[in-house]
Amino acid sequence: MSNEQIHAIVLKSVAASDYLQKISLHERAALMHSIADEITELGESLIQTAEQETGLPNARLQGEKGRTVGQWRSYANAIKSGLFAEARIDKGDGVQKADIRKYNKAVGPVAVFGASNFPFAFSTAGGDTASAIAAGCSVVYKEHPGHPATSQIMAEAIQRGLRKHGAPEGAFGYIQGAGNSVGEALVLHPAIKAVAFTGSLAGGKALFNLGVTREEPIPVFAEMGSVNPVFALPEFLQQNTSTFAQQYVGSLSLGVGQFCTNPGVLVVQKDASLASFKQQLQEEIAKIPAARMLHQGIANSYNQGRSQLLEQQGVEQIGAGSAAENGQGQGAIYSVDAKYFIDNPILSHEVFGPAGLLVECEDQQQMLAVLAQLGGQLTITFSATKGDMKQYVDLFNLAQKKCGRLLFGGMPTGVDVVLAMQHGGPFPSSTDSRFTSVGPDAIKRFLRPVSFQNWPDELLPQELQESNPLKIERIVDNKRELAYS
C-alpha cells in the first residue's frame, strides 16, 4: 500500500474518531455489541481460513473466536458503568473556589499491529482494536502478513457492525501489505495519536523508537513477550515431582509454545529430587509431537534460537519431542548450571516456541542472582508450598519488582479477560508497565484526562453534567456517586 493510500485511510479515521467521541457511552457500547454479533455470525469459513493460514487447530480457533467476542462484550459493558470515564467533580463554592470537572477523553486515532499467534483475539478484531474503540478512538489496523485472508474476513465483520449503527467506515481503517515501511508510515502519520503492538522485541522497540522521536511524540504500547520464569521450590518439587513435570511440559508445548506467557525458564535447586525430576522431564517431552508453527519465519527463528542455546557454555539437552519437518517446531528441554546462566545474557533471551531451559541453583542466593539477571517479565510463577514461600521471602519480593503477574501454582499460559488481569510488565516484556493489554483496563491506554472549569452545565460532556444523565459512577466533592445501570 502506498503512502498516499495510507494517508487517505488515516484521514477518514480522524473524522470517525470525532464521531465515536460524540456519541454517548451507551451508543458506543451498543455499536461494540453489534460488532460482537457480526463476529459471532462468522461461520466455518473463518475457522478454515485461519487454520490454513496459521496451522492452529480447529478447537483452539473456535475457543479463540469465543474469547474475541467476549472481549468486545465485556469492554462494552465496562464503559457503560463509567468506570473509565473516571469523572471527578469538585463543585466549588460559587465565590472564590472554581467549579472543576474532569473526565477521560479519547486520545484520537490509534494504530494497531496484530499478533501472529492470536489471529482473532490479538489481531484485526482483537483486544487492542476493541479497547481503542471502547475508549472512543478510531482504529487504523495494519494487517499481519501471517494471516491476511483471516484479517480480511474479520475487517468486513467489523465494517458490517459499524454500518448497522450508521457509524462511518473510517472508525476502522484497514492497511494491507507486508514490509516494515508500511507500518513505519502509519506510526509516523501525524494524525495517529497512539500505537498498540504485540509481537517481537525487535519490532516493538523499533516502533516505540519511531513513536517517541516523531515531531509530536506518541505513546507506543508494545507487548513483546518474555521467558516467564517458573521457580519450583524444594518442598513443592519433592512432593510433586512427576505431576509437576507433566504440568510444566504441557504448558511449555501448548500451541507449539507460541504464547507470550510460555514458561521458557524453569529454576530449581540441586537437591535429592533433581535427578528424578530431570528424568520425568525427559519422559514427558519425548511424548510431544512436533507440529506446524505459525509461519516459516517463526519456525526458522525457533531453530536458530535452539542452536544458539546449545552453543552456550554449560548448556545440555535433557530431552526432545518427536523430530520436526520443515516449518514445524520440535519440543526440547535444556539444562544449565546457574553459575553459567548468571554470566550469560543470551540464556535469558526468549526462544519463541516449545523450548525450556532448566536452571540448576545451589541455594536461594543463587536463585536470587538468576532472577536479578532476568529482564522485566509478563509473569513469574512460584510452584511452591506455603512453607516454601515463608523461606523464600527475598525471592518473592524481588519477583514483585520484575513482573506484571505473579502466580502461586499453576502455569502462566492462559490469560483471563477480567478486570483484575495485568498483562504487561517492566521492559522488555512491554514498553509501559503501567498498563495492561488484556482485560477492560486495556481501555485506559487510549484515554487522557481533561478538566472543565466553570462551564455552563448544558455545554459540558454528558459524563460531567449535574444530573448525571448517563447514570455513571463518579466522585463528587470527594464522595463516590454510584453507577445506577
C-alpha gyration radius of the chain:
24
Count Cα atoms within 13 angstroms, Cβ side, for 164: 17
Nearer to ligand NAP, 203 or 250 (CB): 203
| Choice from 113, 120, 277, 382 touching ligand NAP (CB under 6 A) | 113
Binder among 71, 116, 131, 385 for ligand NAP (CB under 6 A): 116
Instruction: For residue 272, count other CB atoms closer than 10 A to its CB.
Output: 9
260 is a catalytic site residue: yes
Region binding ligand NAP by CB under 6 A among candidate stretches 43-51, 104-112, 139-147, 401-409: 139-147
First and final CA of the chain: distance in angstroms?
45
**Cα–Cα distance, 54 to 147 (Å, whole number):** 7
Asked if residue 207 binds ligand NAP (CB under 6 A), the reply is yes
Is position 55 an interface residue for ligand NAP (rule: CB under 6 A)? no
Quote the cell numbers at residue 144: 499481519
Residue 463 Cα distances to 26, 65, 99, 449, angstroms: 11, 33, 15, 13
Catalytic residue among 53, 143, 260, 361: 260
Max Cα–Cα distance, the chain, nearest Å: 79
Q: Which of 38, 53, 64, 223 is catalytic?
A: 223
Residue 298 interacting with ligand NAP (CB under 6 A): yes
Nearer to ligand NAP, 28 or 144 (CB): 144
Nearer to ligand NAP, 70 or 145 (CB): 145
Residue with smaller CB distance to ligand NAP, 186 or 443: 186
Report which DSSP code applies to 179.
Answer: S
Among 145, 314, 327, 375, binds ligand NAP (CB under 6 A): 145
Q: Is the omega angle on the peptide bond into residue 428 within 30 degrees of 0, that is, cis?
A: yes
How far, CA to CA in Å, does 444 sit from each of 136, 209, 363? 11, 22, 41
Q: How far is the CB of 412 from ligand NAP (least distance, A)?
A: 12
Q: Per CB under 6 A, does 224 bind ligand NAP?
A: yes
Tell the residue number behind the cell numbers 518442598, with chain if given: 235
**Given the complex with ligand NAP, which of 63 and 469 has the nearer CB atom?**
63
Q: Which of 223, 284, 360, 388 binds ligand NAP (CB under 6 A)?
A: 223
The yes or no reply on residue 184 touching ligand NAP (CB under 6 A) is yes
Pick the closer one to ligand NAP by CB: 319 or 329: 329
Closer of 203 and 314 to ligand NAP (Cβ): 203
> Per rule CB under 6 A, is residue 206 in the interface with ligand NAP?
yes
Nearer to ligand NAP, 223 or 284 (CB): 223
Reference 303, options 261, 351, 251, 365; nearest CA is 351
By the rule CB under 6 A, 1 interacts with ligand NAP: no
- Which one, of 26, 98, 66, 112, lies nearest residue 445 by Cα? 112
Cell of 94: 460559587
Asked if 78 and 134 touch (Cβ cutoff 8 Å), the reply is yes
Is position 178 an interface residue for ligand NAP (rule: CB under 6 A)? yes
How is residue 439 annotated by DSSP? Answer: S
Q: For the chain, count helices (H), then strands (E).
A: 16, 19
285 binds ligand NAP, rule: CB under 6 A: no
Residue bearing cell 530431570: 278
Q: Which residue among 124, 198, 335, 379 contacts ligand NAP (CB under 6 A)? A: 198
**CA–CA separation, 398 vs 122, rounded Å?**
30
CA distance 226 to 206: 17
By CB under 6 A, the residues from 348 to 367 that bind ligand NAP are 350, 352
**Segment near ligand NAP (CB under 6 A); pick from 34-42, 113-121, 283-291, 431-439:** 113-121
**Does the footprint of ligand NAP cover residue 144 (CB under 6 A)?**
yes
Minimum CB distance to ligand NAP, residue 144 (Å): 5
CA–CA gap between residue 355 and residue 265 (Å, rounded): 9
Q: Binding segment for ligand NAP among 152-160, 176-184, 324-332, 433-441 (CB under 6 A)?
A: 176-184
Distance CA 304, CA 323 (A): 16
Known catalytic residues are 223, 260
Footprint on this chain of ligand NAP (rule: CB under 6 A): 113, 115-117, 142, 144-145, 178-180, 183-184, 198-200, 203, 206-207, 223-225, 260, 298, 301, 350, 352
